[in-house]
């Protein structure tokens, strides 16, 4: 039995996906740059015993291709192969105009959000091609559909490029594997995680303006809700170049129509 590998999965959406895959009977490899969160996450995962499956954790910085190679080999050594590989690790931009973003900040965002996804896809694709099967899911985000907004330009630039890269790699997969390696996109919408209030690898706090909070209260969801919908679809999918979307136009429209009756407040003091 092979496994699912998820980058940046010590917390947030990645960790919620890991829990859902484990519940549904998958062996899971979680990985992250944050060692203490990774240890805590593994303890929690081991309490979920979907069909006697197993979880392991591997420290991995997605900006280092060598770390990603080691992650793949650890998963293969433990579980014999990788069925699903999810490039999920990501960081937010500091909420300021581009001209104020430092060189270091630009490099940091691009290296985690874009290069991390490219390196992770290269590693997974190469080995899946040898293996003869597999699915890669790259996580999209604000900007993937060309949306633009002050404060999210650098993040959106990376995610727009992630979308192009993933679709183009899917095309390569058609030629190289007859589409047996599925290269796909996962669009989770707006998630209420630490991500929305932190930038620069958690070093900078983002104060969300009231109007942003209002939009998040209408369109956002906890990742636990989103994985219940997307993970079964990721498992079932066997088409190359598939996009799995949570916040469809129809869902967003319904949220705006009904928000007067279904008030939610993710930001109220606990």
Ligand X SMILES: NC(=O)c1ccc[n+]([C@@H]2O[C@H](COP(=O)([O-])OP(=O)(O)OC[C@H]3O[C@@H](n4cnc5c(N)ncnc54)[C@H](O)[C@@H]3O)[C@@H](O)[C@H]2O)c1
Half-sphere exposure of 130 (CA within 13 A, CB side): 9
- Residue 218, exposed/middle/buried by CB under 10 A (0-12, 13-18, 19+)? middle
Answer positive or negative: Cα dihedral of 81, 11, 46, 49: negative
DSSP state of 107: H
**With respect to ligand X, which residue has the nearer C-beta, 61 or 240?**
61
Q: Least Å distance between CB 155 and ligand X?
A: 7
**With respect to ligand X, which residue has the nearer C-beta, 71 or 181?**
71
Q: Least Å distance between CB 255 and ligand X?
A: 15
Cβ 10 vs Cβ 32: under 8 Å = yes
Q: Least Å distance between CB 90 and ligand X?
A: 2
**With respect to ligand X, which residue has the nearer C-beta, 63 or 217?**
63
| Structure token digits, residue 68 | 């990603």
Cβ 211 vs Cβ 154: under 8 Å = no
Strand positions, DSSP E, the chain: 3-6, 27-32, 55-59, 82-87, 134-139, 181-187, 190-191, 198-199, 204-205, 220-221, 243-245
**With respect to ligand X, which residue has the nearer C-beta, 164 or 238?**
164
Tell me which residues touch ligand X (CB under 6 A).
Answer: 7-8, 10-14, 32-34, 37, 60-63, 88-91, 112, 116, 139, 141, 188, 190-191, 193-196, 201
| Structure token digits, residue 81 | 């192969």
Q: Least Å distance between CB 111 and ligand X?
A: 8
Three-point CA angle 204, 206, 210, nearest 5°: 170
Q: Least Å distance between CB 89 and ligand X?
A: 4
Q: Least Å distance between CB 248 and ligand X?
A: 14
Q: Least Å distance between CB 19 and ligand X?
A: 13
| Structure token digits, residue 144 | 């993937």
What phi and psi values does residue 31 have, to the nearest 5 degrees?
-155, 150
**With respect to ligand X, which residue has the nearer C-beta, 32 or 177?**
32
**With respect to ligand X, which residue has the nearer C-beta, 89 or 118?**
89
**With respect to ligand X, which residue has the nearer C-beta, 131 or 225?**
225
Half-sphere exposure of 12 (CA within 13 A, CB side): 24
């Amino acid at each position: 039995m092979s496994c699912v590998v998820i980058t940046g999965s010590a917390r947030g959406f990645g960790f919620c996906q890991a829990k859902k895959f484990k519940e549904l009977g998958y062996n899971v490899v979680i990985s992250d740059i944050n060692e203490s969160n990774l240890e805590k996450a593994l303890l929690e995962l081991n309490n979920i015993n979907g069909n006697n499956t197993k979880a392991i954790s591997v420290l991995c910085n997605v900006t280092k291709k060598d770390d990603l190679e080691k992650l793949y080999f650890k998963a293969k050594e433990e579980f014999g192969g990788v069925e699903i590989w999810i490039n999920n690790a990501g960081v937010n931009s500091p909420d300021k105009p581009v001209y104020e973003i430092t060189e270091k900040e630009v490099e940091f965002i691009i290296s985690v959000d874009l290069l991390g996804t490219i390196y992770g896809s290269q590693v997974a694709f190469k080995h899946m091609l040898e293996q003869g099967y597999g699915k890669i899911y790259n996580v999209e985000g604000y900007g993937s559909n060309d949306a633009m907004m002050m404060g999210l330009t650098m993040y959106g630039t990376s995610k727009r490029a992630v979308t192009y890269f993933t679709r183009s790699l899917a095309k390569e997969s058609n030629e190289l594997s007859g589409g047996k390696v599925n290269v796909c996109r996962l669009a989770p919408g707006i998630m209420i995680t630490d991500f929305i209030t932190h930038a620069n690898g958690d070093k900078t706090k983002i104060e969300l303006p009231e109007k942003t909070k209002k939009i998040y209260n209408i369109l956002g969801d906890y990742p636990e809700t989103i994985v219940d919908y997307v993970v079964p679809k990721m498992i079932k999918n066997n088409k190359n170049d598939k996009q799995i979307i949570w916040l469809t136009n129809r869902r967003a429209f319904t949220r705006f129509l009904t928000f007067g009756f279904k008030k939610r407040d993710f930001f109220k003091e606990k």
